[in-house]
């Protein structure tokens, strides 16, 4: 039986392993204790929902926690104030078991009256009364808040929520409010597709800064693996595997969880030895499986490239030309890329968020019909068989043949072409050779026009490309194979 790996501590049936997020929960509780109104804005499948579930349990001793999910409400629920009030009241009745009798009666009446007599102000007056009567301070958590329909009712609800919160010294209101979703105040207009003033002036602008890092550290990943190793005695080198998981995912919760699950369920025994999944070779096999599968996170990312052409262009420049992008607040393609998790900011530079996303993007861009119609791709495809010998890549031969084809096809294009397109054409040459068996990516630290460190994973081996010369290096710690470079 496979073991479920859950990186954010959400309890589920069967045997499961999780990272310790107690420090994060304590940090969030400190914000709640201060009575803050804040938003948790992170990319898809970044652990927001499972964190909120754990937080609900964590706060239960001191607070009455109401955790709602706007994905559970339909488009019709946002068509009018009365429809929203009825739906919201119905959710409250299902979520909370102990409600004062007078509040309960009002909420029940709201669910039955979908006419124009029920309004948002009447709902908030009842909620205020409830906050005043409750023995414990009430904390309101709304997950997927940005999934609400594009209409005035949604904005009016947030405006009233904001108003009551700001005036809680005058009349009772929620002690703390937590809104979670992908979109934040800087780019909520992208979700709504509008530039109307009242929607840019969202009630989110009172929110306290949420600065808690929700990614996983190598130490947190290591703790989860130690628990697994304690039960299953695989003999894995925990520090090595946790280091690889962090190096490839940068602690993106879904990616960590998925790779562990793949090693446990799909790679185990693949190499003919017990527990062979929990080795570097097993890990790289899990990476190949992950990058070849369709999942909701990858599908969402690829769809965003189609939805935002400016995002597509920026990522192509970043990946293929080595263009350095400095982070400046307000540059829309950069803000979009940050919001959806494609990139992160490191030392004021925009870089791809992690190796998995980088490889996914390279694979996607290089697989487009326009790319595969290039002469360079066709040249590699015709010669593919000569580069693989006894299951190993002949990297020296690949480089030699690439130089010959590149000079023949593009030799007269000029220096600017070499600088802007050299990397793209080399990766295009590699694509049909390693396709389905290997992947490649560029080290973020060397992503510029002057230097490129390209790493190829193939059948458990890694090959590093650096400078114009070819050399063998078997002494570099953690790096096996050829070190060859192109810049």
Domain residues for the domain of 40 are 20-206
- Helix, strand, or coil here: 257? helix
The Cα-based distances of 342 to 29, 189, 479 in angstroms read 29, 19, 27
Does one domain contain both 267 and 175? Answer: no
Q: How confident is the model at residue 199 (pLDDT cuts 50, 70, 90)?
A: very low
Domain membership flag for residue 350: no
Does one domain contain both 192 and 274? Answer: no
* Strands laid side by side in the 176-181 sheet: 37-41, 176-181, 138-143, 64-69
Instruction: Name the pTM for this structure.
Output: 0.81
Please identify which residue in the block is written with the tokens 């994973």: 457
Q: Report which of residues 171 and 8 the model is more confident about.
A: 171
The pLDDT assigned to 154 comes to 82
Is it the case that residue 130 has pLDDT exceeding 60? yes
Domain membership flag for residue 308: no
Contact 63, 205 (CB under 8 A): no
> Mean pLDDT over residues 455-482, rounded?
54
CA nearest 241: which of 258, 267, 221?
221
- The domain total for the chain is 3
Give the integer Cα–Cα distance in Å for 332 and 307: 14
Domain membership flag for residue 235: yes
Task: Tell me the CATH number at 63.
Answer: 3.40.50.300
Does one domain contain both 280 and 138? Answer: no
> What pLDDT, in 10s, does the model give residues 241-262?
999 999 999 999 999 999 999 9
Does one domain contain both 197 and 246? Answer: no
The pLDDT assigned to 93 comes to 95
Does one domain contain both 185 and 235? Answer: no
Domain membership flag for residue 330: no
Domain boundary among 174, 206, 238: 206
Q: Report which of residues 384 and 449 the model is more confident about.
A: 384
Does one domain contain both 51 and 163? Answer: yes
Does one domain contain both 41 and 190? Answer: yes
> Mean pLDDT over residues 363-377, rounded?
86
> What pLDDT, in 10s, does the model give residues 401-448?
988 988 888 877 765 555 557 778 888 899 889 887 888 877 655 555
Does one domain contain both 242 and 147? Answer: no
The Cα-based distances of 100 to 93, 161, 190 in angstroms read 11, 21, 40
Domain boundary among 277, 293, 309: 293
Structure tokens that stand for 44 in this block:
């898809």
Domain membership flag for residue 11: no
Domain boundary among 275, 293, 311: 293
The pLDDT assigned to 42 comes to 86
Does one domain contain both 230 and 184? Answer: no
Domain membership flag for residue 332: no
E strand map for 354-401: 388-389, 392-393
Domain membership flag for residue 316: no
Does one domain contain both 104 and 140? Answer: yes
247: phi then psi, degrees, rounded to nearest 5: -60, -35
Structure tokens that stand for 185 in this block:
């105040």
Q: What percent of the chain has pLDDT over 70?
A: 80
Residues 6+ apart with CB under 8 A from 404: none
Does one domain contain both 168 and 247? Answer: no
> What pLDDT, in 10s, does the model give residues 247-300?
999 999 999 999 999 998 888 767 666 678 899 889 988 999 999 999 999 999
Does one domain contain both 81 and 146? Answer: yes
Q: Report which of residues 450 and 364 the model is more confident about.
A: 364
- Helix, strand, or coil here: 437? coil
The pLDDT assigned to 459 comes to 78
Domain membership flag for residue 304: no
């Amino acid at each position: 039986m496979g073991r479920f790996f859950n990186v954010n501590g959400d309890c589920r049936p069967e045997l499961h392993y999780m990272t310790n997020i107690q420090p994060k929960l304590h940090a969030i509780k400190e914000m709640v204790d201060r009575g803050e109104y804040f938003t948790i804005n992170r990319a898809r499948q970044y652990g927001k929902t499972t964190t909120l579930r754990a937080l609900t349990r964590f706060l239960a001793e001191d607070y009455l926690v109401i955790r709602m999910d706007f994905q559970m409400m339909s488009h019709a629920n946002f068509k009018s104030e009365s429809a929203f009030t009825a739906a919201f009241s119905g959710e409250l009745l299902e979520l909370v078991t102990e409600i004062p009798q007078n509040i309960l009666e009002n909420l029940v009446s709201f669910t039955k009256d979908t006419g124009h007599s029920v309004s948002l102000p009447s709902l908030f007056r009842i909620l205020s009364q409830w906050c005043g009567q409750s023995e414990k301070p009430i904390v309101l958590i709304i997950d997927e808040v940005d999934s609400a329909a594009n209409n005035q009712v949604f904005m009016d609800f947030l405006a009233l929520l904001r108003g009551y919160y700001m005036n809680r010294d005058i009349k009772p209101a929620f002690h703390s409010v937590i809104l979670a979703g992908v979109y934040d105040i800087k780019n909520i207009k992208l979700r709504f597709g509008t530039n109307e003033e009242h929607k840019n002036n969202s009630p989110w602008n009172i929110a306290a800064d949420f600065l808690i890092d929700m990614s996983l550290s190598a130490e947190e990943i290591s703790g989860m693996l130690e628990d697994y190793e304690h039960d299953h005695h695989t003999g894995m080198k925990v520090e090595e595997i946790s280091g690889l998981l962090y190096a490839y995912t940068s602690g993106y919760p879904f990616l960590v969880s998925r790779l562990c699950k793949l090693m446990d369920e799909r790679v185990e025994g693949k190499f003919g030895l017990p527990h062979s999944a929990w080795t570097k070779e097993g890990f790289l096999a899990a990476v190949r499986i992950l990058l070849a599968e369709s999942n909701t996170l990858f599908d969402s990312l690829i769809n965003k490239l189609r939805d935002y052409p400016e995002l597509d262009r920026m990522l192509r420049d970043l990946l293929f030309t080595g263009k350095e992008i400095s982070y400046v607040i307000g540059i829309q393609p950069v803000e979009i890329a940050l919001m959806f998790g494609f990139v992160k900011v490191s030392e004021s530079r925009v870089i791809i968020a992690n190796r998995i996303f980088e490889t996914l993007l390279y694979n996607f861009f290089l697989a487009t019909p326009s790319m595969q119609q290039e002469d360079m791709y066709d040249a590699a495809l015709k010669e593919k068989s000569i580069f693989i010998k006894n299951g190993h890549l002949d990297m020296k031969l690949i480089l030699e043949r690439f130089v010959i084809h590149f000079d023949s096809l593009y030799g007269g294009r000029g220096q600017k072409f070499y600088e802007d397109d050299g990397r793209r054409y080399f990766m295009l040459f590699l694509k049909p050779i390693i396709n389905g068996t290997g992947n490649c990516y560029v080290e973020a630290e060397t992503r510029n026009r002057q230097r490129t460190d390209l790493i190829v994973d193939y059948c458990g081996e890694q090959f590093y490309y650096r400078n114009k010369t070819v050399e063998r290096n078997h002494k570099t710690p953690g790096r096996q194979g050829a070190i060859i470079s192109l810049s």
